[in-house]
Amino acid sequence: MSAYAAIAIVLTAVAWIEVAIAGRDLYHAGWFNVALAALAVICIAGARKRNVLTALGAAVVAGATIANGLFAPDNHTVVGAPGQRVRVDDLGGTLAFPFAQPGTAREKVAFDGPPVTTFVLRPVERSVVYVEARDARGNHLTVTQPTGTAFLSPVLLMQQQQQIAGLMLPYDSFAVPAAHRIVKAVLFSPQQAAMLRGIQGLATSAVLFAVDDDNDRPLPHAIALCADGQSVVVGGLSLHAAVLQYPALEIVPVPSLVALALGTLLVLGGFLAVRRRT
């Protein structure tokens, strides 16, 4: 095997590794892409007269890999509320987020659009909180999220962070219009909940509820900790919390799969051409 053929194999292998192990910072490093460009120039210059197919394949594969490293957008995660449809221009289509309710089977985020050839879509599990509110008589009360992505959704996406007792904790808030209450919910993981004074050994997630009036004024003695799947009475409300694992979707750029397939076929064609001549 010639040195030029070996370089073509290396370039092809690196390109497919970027697809298989997508999203590494290394792929966007300047020195890494300069090294790939140098190898591609050496391969093309040496192989173009001896094996045109190998030279073309190396050029296509290296071009797609370097373009991804230098010009592709950063990885980003799309978070959607249950039942929400989110348009993603990079993909040229729409993500449909499944509905969520305690005790139901988890579904995946669906993509409605053309085949994706320059991105990898990776599901990311996030902890969200399903809440229910009732009055003193046990009547169900409507929960709203005036600043959220889904006005009437009982699922809090917990996208904001707050520091409490040295811990960075996710939180969200919702309103109960019929009771003139605004409730802030802070999520503790099982490990964090076990650290709280008075509940050592708690082997479940927990949600800290803080209830204000509808003018955002704190109510007296209106803070209570609720274990996952349990209910607490606080601020004149009976609040139930269930912590769910709900999917978000990470969008990771990769070299164009069409270009990689074409370049790989050209490199393989070059090998076959050399074998026939020999």
Report yes or no on 108 lying in a domain.
no
| Predicted confidence (pLDDT) at residue 3 exceeds the cutoff of 70 | yes
What would the pLDDT profile of 104-116 be if each residue is shown by its tens digit?
A: 767 889 999 999 9
Cβ pair 81, 155 in contact under 8 A: yes
Please check whether residues 59 and 148 belong to one and the same domain. Answer: no
Tokens found for residue 79: 């978070």
Integer Cα distance of 264 and 204 in angstroms: 50
Confidence of residue 261 (pLDDT cuts 50, 70, 90): very high
Please check whether residues 133 and 237 belong to one and the same domain. Answer: yes
Please check whether residues 246 and 258 belong to one and the same domain. Answer: no
Report yes or no on 166 lying in a domain.
yes
Place of tokens 């003695």: 221
In the chain, the number of structural domains is: 2
- Return all residues near 72 (Cβ < 8 A) that are at least 6 apart: 28, 118, 253, 254
Integer Cα distance of 62 and 81 in angstroms: 39
Which residue type occupies 114?
Answer: P
End-to-end CA distance of the chain: 12
Report yes or no on 25 lying in a domain.
yes
Report yes or no on 227 lying in a domain.
yes
Task: Tell which wins on pLDDT, 92 or 274.
Answer: 92
What would the pLDDT profile of 123-178 be if each residue is shown by its tens digit?
A: 999 999 999 999 989 999 999 986 655 677 899 999 999 988 788 999 999 999 99
Please check whether residues 202 and 272 belong to one and the same domain. Answer: no
Please check whether residues 144 and 236 belong to one and the same domain. Answer: yes
Q: How many other C-beta atoms are found inside a 10 Å radius of the C-beta of residue 182?
A: 22
What would the pLDDT profile of 190-216 be if each residue is shown by its tens digit?
A: 988 887 755 555 578 999 999 999 888
Average pLDDT over the chain, rounded to whole? 91
Task: Tell which wins on pLDDT, 269 or 203.
Answer: 269
Please check whether residues 144 and 226 belong to one and the same domain. Answer: yes
Please check whether residues 62 and 166 belong to one and the same domain. Answer: no
Q: What is the pTM of this model?
A: 0.83
Please check whether residues 246 and 233 belong to one and the same domain. Answer: yes
Report yes or no on 162 lying in a domain.
yes
Cα–Cα nearest to 73, from 249, 248, 252, 258:
252
Tokens found for residue 208: 């800290």
Residues forming a β-bridge with 253:
119
Please check whether residues 138 and 198 belong to one and the same domain. Answer: yes
Q: Which residue range forms the structural domain that includes residue 168?
A: 124-250
Residue 70 has a pLDDT of: 95
Cβ pair 55, 47 in contact under 8 A: yes
Residue 145 has a pLDDT of: 83
Please check whether residues 140 and 228 belong to one and the same domain. Answer: yes
DSSP code string of 53-111: HHHHHHHHHHHHHHHHHHHSPPPEEE---TT-EEEETTTTEEEEPPP--TTSPP-PPEE
Please state the rounded mean pLDDT for residues 80-102. Answer: 92
Give the H/E segment covering residue 211: strand 206-213
